[in-house]
Structure 1
Amino acid sequence: MTKQQINKVVVAYSGGLDTSVIIPWLKENYHCEVIAFVADVGQGAEELNGIEEKAIASGATECYVVDLKEQMVEEYIYPTLKTGACYEGKYLLGTSMARPIIAKAQVEVARNVGADALCHGCTGKGNDQVRFEGAFAALAPELMVIAPWREWDLVSREECLDYLAERNIPCTASLTKIYSRDANAWHISTEGGVLEDTWNAPNEDCWEWTVDPEQAPNEAEFVTVKVQQGEIVEVDGEAMTPYNTLVYLNEKGAKHGVGRIDIVENRLVGIKSRGCYETPGGTIMMEALRAVEQLVLDKSSFEFREELAVKASHLVYDGRWFTPLCKSVLAASEELAKDVNGEVVIKLYKGHATVTQKRSDNSLYSEEFATFGEDEVYDQSHAGGFIRLYSLASRIRALNEKK
């Protein structure tokens, strides 16, 4: 499909500088009708307020705002949590987990309006271009994908602002923006500015949601979480939907400075990037689920779940959600989570979420067997035969070497 054959394109619109430029640029360079699509993934009212009017003022014919908050937590975040996925040991995949549902909803809008192309505002340096286009390829291979940052000759924020000014298109963006931020219900990320030099410590401007742990309350707060089949269904005695659970725990965690990380990660495209990520509620959720797993999963099952976590973290980070392998990993973790039922108490204090109590009807922990005191259920002499068989291969190898 060529530029001349594009009649209608749906662009993923955020209301920021880049996507405000993209709408008029598409009209001028592809001579097509532009439909704006906005995904509400919990980024907050400030970003969404007046966004439809802003899109129309930029040149869009229509603007669709789709509420994806509850679905994102229930169908993307909760399944990922069951795998234990944590990219490179620290990152809870905040931006990554939102991309599949955004791409899927964008495709649905495109089909509903009869569009023949999709457009995103991702740069050619980042991961998101791969995540969006990988999803588009799996869900709508017949639709053309337009990536303006890989085509146009605009190279700076100043040029983008000049582009809009020349066309009398209003924009609230300015040259004073220092950081690049991405927010959804799960997390907020901050990149750029002082963080581009890894020797610079992050300042308070790098953190948006969470209180500085040093300034957090001096008194700990405890939350009680109920888990059923690897999903949090109740907090502090109240049943909540997945999204409302996350909102509640975000508020609790942020107040105590929970969920801050400052990392340098390996992007899919080969570039290392530094970011400050805040995931207060997600950090609490992860601690709760892992605590119940410790009680319920046997050694081999837990080891396999850890393998799934590594695999899932790369599948989600690399934008391979809509693949057979990802479906298989999610199915395996779903099976393991069937017995992950229990209750956990978590202490929130000065940036830490610490499990202090845990119990489960499916617990494999037995005080009778584990005690250091006298017991009537375990004959310690039986361990000798077990160890002899367990180490038999090593024994045979050593005997062979002596020969």
Structure 2
Amino acid sequence: MSKKKIVLAYSGGLDTSITIPWLKENYDADIIAVCVDLGIDEDWEAIEAKALASGATKFYNPHVAEEFASEYIYPAVTGNLRYQDTYLLGTALGRPLISKYLVEVAHKEEADAICHGCTGKGNDQVRFEMGIAAFDAEMPVIAPWRIWDIKSREDAIDYAQAKGVPVTSTKEKIYSEDENLMHISHEGGDIESPMNEVDYSNILHNVNTPEEAPDEAEYVEIHFEKGRATHVNGEALTPAEVIRALNKVGGKHGIGILDWIEDRTIGMKSRGIYETPGVHLLMEAHERLESLTLTKETIRIKGILSAEWSQLVYNGQWFSMANEAIRAFMEDTQKTVTGDVKLKLYKGNIFPASVDSPYELFDQDVSGFGEDDLFNHHDAEGYINVITLPTKIQKRKGLI
């Protein structure tokens, strides 16, 4: 009988690094490490060497930054997705794409199971397993954090040291971090308690604190075609290149720092610190352009569906009927979202400078205080009489 195979979602971080020796101890199987690159600068040869040295038999490293940007980040921007009106969903958007490639490798290798290193308290266990099920509903999933005796990240560091697995985490700086093209998240350690004021300069990797940002403002101009950013400062770029360019200028000026308390999928609250400079800029510019090109009713309905879609994505339901239906609506609204948005960046702040579109619904003659041939000021009297009628009836009946 051939030896079993387990595909491991591998990052090279603490949790997945110790998972390889643990799997080899507890399963008679070859471990195939899959590290999906969602667009970060990394020494991939070093990560592969570490995985193999830790006991993996094979290493896969698909580079899918453009797919991530075009098929996940850009749709989120068109939908103005913010979980609880705040979080831009950088981690949540990456997990379904990673799941897709985990299953792809598992099928190629004829693997017996897929393993992830997510904790039993977190959101990502749900997102990975929802994503895996969408591509292979029968694939067994191994979740060591729900099985092993390791109870904390301190325990995990002790286990790594005992097994000779090199990790960068220490008990003094024990943050759990997730990085992709869109963002970096930081959790754990002194971040956990809402009572702690943390020193952002010791935590942030790609974004300056406002204190460190330049003393002079800078302008950035983004061109959109049907809701998708195609140019930055006049230069044609691919979706991933757009985000990289905006990450650079946004990070320089302290844009996209979020320190907040969120409600996890499984019910508990947690505190996280996020760096999302480029997509923060992209979202602000996109919403500014929509305010000029979409009708009031479209914006209102988009807002309702955006809140629902954000919940779906946060909870791991990217591959769902509801997700596809909402996405189709959102994409249809983008037919007129074409134009240029200029933003002014200064010490963590974004100020609108200008917005222009061939499909703009703003009419200076109608919106101004002067006379025009489309609107008659006397028409407002009839409108007010109609809209105030329910209030007048309630007052007459003594109900208010």
Percent identity between the two aligned chains: 44
Report what 2:244 is aligned to.
Answer: 247
Q: Any unmatched runs of 5+ in structure 1?
A: none
Q: Summarize the Cα distance change of 1:398–1:160 in structure 2 as closer, same or farther, 3 Å threshold.
A: closer
Structure 2 counterpart SS, 1:293: helix
Query: Which residue of 4, 9, 23 maps to 1:7?
Result: 4
For residue 10 of structure 1, report the CA deviation from its aligned partner: 0.4
Q: What letter is aligned with 2:176?
A: S
Report what 1:186 is aligned to.
Answer: 182
Q: What letter is aligned with 1:78?
A: Y
Report what 1:140 is aligned to.
Answer: 136
1:110 lines up with 2:100 in the alignment: no
In 2, Cα distance between equivalents of 1:20 and 1:132: 18
Structure 2 counterpart SS, 1:200: coil
In 1, Cα distance between equivalents of 2:165 and 2:378: 82
In 2, Cα distance between equivalents of 1:43 and 1:102: 14
Cα shift readout 1:126-153 (whole Å, capped 9, x = no counterpart): 0000100111122211110000000001
Q: What letter is aligned with 2:285?
A: A
For residue 218 of structure 1, report the CA deviation from its aligned partner: 1.5
Relative to the length of structure 1, the TM-score reads 0.94
In 2, Cα distance between equivalents of 1:358 and 1:36: 47
Cα shift readout 1:294-339 (whole Å, capped 9, x = no counterpart): 0111111110011121011111111110110011111110011111
In 2, Cα distance between equivalents of 1:164 and 1:377: 73
Report what 1:44 is aligned to.
Answer: 41
**Residues 23 and 59 of structure 1 are in contact (CA less than 8 Å); yes or no, is this contact kept in structure 2?**
yes
Q: Summarize the Cα distance change of 1:300–1:218 in structure 2 as closer, same or farther, 3 Å threshold.
A: same
In 1, Cα distance between equivalents of 2:298 and 2:55: 55
Structure 2 counterpart SS, 1:110: helix
Q: Summarize the Cα distance change of 1:209–1:396 in structure 2 as closer, same or farther, 3 Å threshold.
A: same
Q: What letter is aligned with 2:277?
A: P
Query: Which residue of 189, 193, 198 maps to 2:194?
Result: 198
For residue 392 of structure 1, report the CA deviation from its aligned partner: 4.2
For residue 37 of structure 1, report the CA deviation from its aligned partner: 0.2
- CA RMSD in angstroms comes to 2.0
Q: What letter is aligned with 1:139?
A: F
For residue 178 of structure 1, report the CA deviation from its aligned partner: 2.8
Moved more, 151-160 or 103-112: 151-160
Report what 1:221 is aligned to.
Answer: 218
1:237 lines up with 2:234 in the alignment: yes
1:63 lines up with 2:59 in the alignment: yes
For residue 53 of structure 1, report the CA deviation from its aligned partner: 1.0
Report what 1:343 is aligned to.
Answer: 340
For residue 199 of structure 1, report the CA deviation from its aligned partner: 2.0
**Residues 230 and 239 of structure 2 are in contact (CA less than 8 Å); yes or no, is this contact kept in structure 1?**
yes
Q: Any unmatched runs of 5+ in structure 2?
A: none
Report what 1:268 is aligned to.
Answer: 265
In 2, Cα distance between equivalents of 1:164 and 1:90: 36
1:278 lines up with 2:275 in the alignment: yes
Query: What number of residue pairs does the alignment pair up?
Result: 398
Q: Summarize the Cα distance change of 1:173–1:199 in structure 2 as closer, same or farther, 3 Å threshold.
A: closer
Q: What letter is aligned with 2:318?
A: W
Query: Which residue of 382, 386, 389 maps to 2:383?
Result: 386
Report what 1:121 is aligned to.
Answer: 117
Q: What letter is aligned with 2:189?
A: G
Moved more, 204-213 or 371-380: 371-380
Moved more, 63-72 or 213-222: 213-222
Cα shift readout 1:237-277 (whole Å, capped 9, x = no counterpart): 11100000000000001111111111011111111111111
For residue 63 of structure 1, report the CA deviation from its aligned partner: 0.4
Q: What letter is aligned with 2:173?
A: K
For residue 106 of structure 1, report the CA deviation from its aligned partner: 0.8
Query: Which residue of 6, 20, 25 maps to 1:23?
Result: 20
**Residues 223 and 347 of structure 1 are in contact (CA less than 8 Å); yes or no, is this contact kept in structure 2?**
yes
Relative to the length of structure 2, the TM-score reads 0.94
**Residues 84 and 308 of structure 1 are in contact (CA less than 8 Å); yes or no, is this contact kept in structure 2?**
no
Paired residues for 1:277-356 under 5 Å: 277-356=274-353
Report what 1:88 is aligned to.
Answer: 84
Cα shift readout 1:48-76 (whole Å, capped 9, x = no counterpart): 35111111111111000010111001000
**Residues 365 and 371 of structure 2 are in contact (CA less than 8 Å); yes or no, is this contact kept in structure 1?**
no
Q: What letter is aligned with 1:113?
A: E
Q: What letter is aligned with 1:32?
A: A
1:209 lines up with 2:206 in the alignment: yes
Cα shift readout 1:153-174 (whole Å, capped 9, x = no counterpart): 1223444344344444454544
